[in-house]
Amino acid sequence: EPEVTQTPSHQVTQMGQEVILRCVPISNHLYFYWYRQILGQKVEFLVSFYNNEISEKSEIFDDQFSVERPDGSNFTLKIRSTKLEDSAMYFCASSDSNYGYTFGSGTRLTVV
């Protein structure tokens, strides 16, 4: 069964550093998303991406965040200057329409 692949599985970074989280969506999917989940809490929407541009974003997705599809297979989330409160699981997801998503296994980001 096709999968959404995320790397790394765990990233530890110092406060103020830039991090890039990487995702390979399912190959024939057209919609791509990033969500985050702070430990013990619910999953929260960050951003959706379609046709090479951001189509929707939440208030969490401020100027410190950016997304990119640098080639035909990768989809990245960059956090420019990490804060302690950015520590969370970050999930990439993709879909082939406006219906059910497939989520990746996540990247656990720890900011120290």
Residues 53/3, Cβ–Cβ less than 8 Å: no
Three-state helix/strand/coil letters over the chain = CCCCEEECCEEEECCCCCEEEEEECCCCCCEEEEEEECCCCCCEEEEEEECCEEEEECCCCCCCEEEECCCCCCEEEEECCCCHHHCEEEEEEEECCCCCCEECCCEEEEEC
Size of residue set near another protein by CB under 8 A: 26
Quick one: which segment of 11-19, 38-46, 67-75, 79-87 binds another protein (CB under 8 A)? 38-46
**96 is an interface residue for another protein by CB under 8 A:** no
**By CB under 8 A, residue 45 contacts another protein:** yes
25 touches another protein by CB under 8 A: no
Binding-site member from 27, 28, 39, 42 for another protein (CB under 8 A): 42
Looking at the Cβ atoms of 15 and 89, the one nearer to another protein is 89
Compute the least distance from the CB of residue 45 to another protein, in Å. Answer: 4
Residue range at the interface with another protein (CB under 8 A); choices 11-19, 35-43, 64-72, 77-85: 35-43
